Amino acid sequence: MKPHLALALLLLFLFLQQKWLLVNGDMFIKSRGIHFMLNGSPFYANGFNAYWLMYVASDPSQRPKVSAAFREASRHDLSVARTWAFSDGGYNPLQYSPGSYNEQMFKGLDFVVAEARRYGIKLILSLANNYESFGGKNQYVNWARNQGQYLTSDDDFFRNSVVKGFYKNHIRTILNRYNTITGVVYKNDPTIMAWELMNEPRCTSDPSGRTIQAWIMEMASYVKSIDRNHLLEAGLEGFYGQSSSWRNNLNPGFNIGTDFIANNRIPGIDFATVHSYPDQWLSSSNDQKQLSFLSNWLDAHIQDAQYILHKPLFVTEFGKSWKDSGFSPYQRDMLFNIVYVKIYESAKHGGAAGGGLFWQLLAQGMDSFRDGYEVMLDQNSSTANVIAHQAHKLHQIRNIFARTRNMEMWKRARGRRGQWLSGNKGKRIGN
Ligand SMILES: *[C@@H]1O[C@H](CO)[C@@H](O)[C@H](O)[C@H]1NC(C)=O
């Protein structure tokens, strides 16, 4: 091959690759101040939770359900999904025992990442569970007990150095996973928006909050020592702690050893998260009280992210169960609407709210996964409309920013050209 032909082909290849990247919006989501950024514009997203994706995808005959979920989600303009990248011990897990992994389950997660990319959906991958489903703190602590550690509480997950070693090994294994479908190592994959340290970390044995604070600091710097591409969040529900006594009257009455302000201030934590289940947290209050709680809860967290933390905020879980007494789909739509209006109003005015992820999306034929909170986009049409409407509105904000930015770039370019012209005016060039 002649050298200039080879060069031309190389340039063409690079051009096409660049073009492909742009078409797919396939870059890392970053944070800048209180905003998420993607390809130079603020990123706002409506999205969903679907904890079951890896588990279902680990059985190749069930993969169409995963694809259907992503297809329906993208059809409704949803662009972020939060899911579990853990399943520790027990029957058919991802991690059989510390450091020993189930390749079949890992291929399920590879498939989830590949499908998300295909449908233009970014992922938040959670790395462990506070609760016992899919193993959780309890399983890690038991593994350490089997190795002779004397541990008295599941909260020793946050304290014991052997357990912390097991957990760090899991972090390292996930981040360095080579995706057998896409060929991209997870820590280099822009399909992943963020890592989450744990689903709803709680340490009731230390209400001072010091244990969780130290654990998040240690684990955040560990994640960052492996992966500086991706954002990181802690997985918190947003309860206030000792660092913000002026807020504590907002808490729904339990102290679980976390601190929204102090925990999210940790440098390796890139954005704050908040969950909200007024139907569970205020189960003896009426609907109206629950909704007004929700409204204040979101206002406070959006403001605190903006003015105290100076970081973006994602509402990473909210929902309403049809198992609640007196439930109607209208009530659920109303709750979704409150969350969506809060996010939209903040985003529209340049505030810290970046988006919301409802709990939880199911595809058809998944009755055994119903937990009361499930939404089937192709069947629950009123809720699906509320969801799609929000997605559309958030995309519009992003488009307005993108247009304004292009306009400014164009003006700046024209300004420079103008300067150059006027700078040369009157001078006799080439004489
Ligand atoms: C969603 O649709 C399914 C299937 O049609 C139905 O069984 C369920 O009751 C609906 N859920 C709500 C909350 O309306």
The answer to whether residue 420 scores a pLDDT higher than 90 is: no
Q: Is the model's pLDDT at 424 over the cut of 50? A: no
200 noted as active-site residue:
yes
Cα(12) to ligand 1 centroid in Å equals: 51
Q: Give pLDDT, residue 403.
A: 84
Q: Is residue 10 over pLDDT 70?
A: no
Give yes or no: 345 in active site. no
* Pocket-forming residues, ligand 1, beta carbon under 6 Å: 322, 329, 332, 376, 379-380
Q: Which residues contact 286 (CB under 8 A, 6 or more apart)?
A: none
- Give me the pLDDT at residue 428, please: 39
Ramachandran area for residue 310 (φ above 0: left; ψ -120 to 50: alpha; else beta): left
Using 50, 70 and 90 to split pLDDT, how confident is the model at 429?
A: very low
- Whole-number pLDDT of residue 113: 98
Closest atom of ligand 1 to 382 CA is: 14
User: What pLDDT, on a 0 to 100 scale, did the predictor assign at position 255?
Assistant: 86
Supply the Cα-derived Rg of the chain in whole angstroms. 24
Marked catalytic residue, from 200, 233, 237, 374: 200
User: Which amino acid is residue 216, in one-letter code?
Assistant: I
Q: Is the pLDDT of residue 405 over 90?
A: no
Pocket test of ligand 1: the residue of 376, 378, 381, 386 to mutate, having most ligand atoms within 8 Å of its CB, is 376
The number of the ligand 1 atom at minimal distance from the alpha carbon of 379 is 2
pLDDT digit string, tens, across residues 158-167:
999 999 999 9
Task: Kindly report the average pLDDT of the chain as a whole number.
Answer: 92
Instruction: Determine the average pLDDT of the residues in 329-335.
Output: 97
Please list, in sequence order, all residues whose beta carbon lies within 8 angstroms of the beta carbon of residue 69, skipping any fewer than 6 positions away: 50, 53, 361, 362, 363
Range with the poorest average pLDDT among 4-8, 219-223, 287-291: 4-8
pLDDT at 39 over 70: yes
pLDDT at residue 358 is higher than 90? yes
> Is pLDDT at 416 greater than 70 in this prediction?
no
User: Confidence band (pLDDT; 50, 70, 90) for 356?
Assistant: very high
Which residue reads 């890139």 in tokens? 270
**403 compared with 375, residue with greater pLDDT:** 375
CATH topology of domain 36-406: TIM Barrel (3.20.20)
Type and span of the H or E element at 216: helix 210-226
Of the chain, the percentage scoring pLDDT greater than 90 comes to 84
Ramachandran category for residue 365: left, alpha or beta (phi over 0 → left; psi -120 to 50 → alpha)? left
Distance from C-alpha of 143 to C-alpha of 147, rounded to nearest angstrom: 7
Instruction: Report how far ligand 1's centroid is from the alpha carbon of 379 (Å).
Output: 7
Does pLDDT of 151 surpass 60?
yes
**If you measure from the C-alpha of residue 405 to the centroid of ligand 1, how many angstroms do you get, rounded to a whole number?**
43
Q: Which residue's CA lies nearest to atom 8 of ligand 1? A: 380
Give residue 399's pLDDT. 87
pTM score, whole prediction: 0.90
The tens digit of pLDDT for each residue in 72-123 reads: 999 999 999 999 999 999 999 999 999 999 999 999 999 999 999 999 999 9
For 91-129, b/e burial (b = at least 16 CB within 10 A) is eebbbeebeebeeebbbbbbbbbbbbbbbbbbbbbbbbb
The protein residue with its alpha carbon nearest to ligand 1, atom 14, reads: 329
Which atom of ligand 1 lies closest to the CA of 375? 1
- Among candidate residues 115, 196, 237, 317, the one labeled active-site is 317
Give pLDDT tens digits for 165-191. Answer: 999 999 999 999 999 999 999 999 999
Q: Look up residue 421 and give its amino acid.
A: L
Place of tokens 């003006």: 411
Percent of the chain surpassing pLDDT 70: 90
Going by CA atoms, what residue is nearest to atom 1 of ligand 1? Answer: 380
Give the whole-angstrom CA distance, residue 192 versus residue 117. Answer: 9
The DSSP-derived string for 319-339 is ---TTSTT--HHHHHHHHHHH
For residue 69, how far is its CA from the centre of ligand 1 (angstroms)?
16
For residue 310, what are the CA distances in angstroms to 81, 265, 320, 373? 24, 9, 30, 32
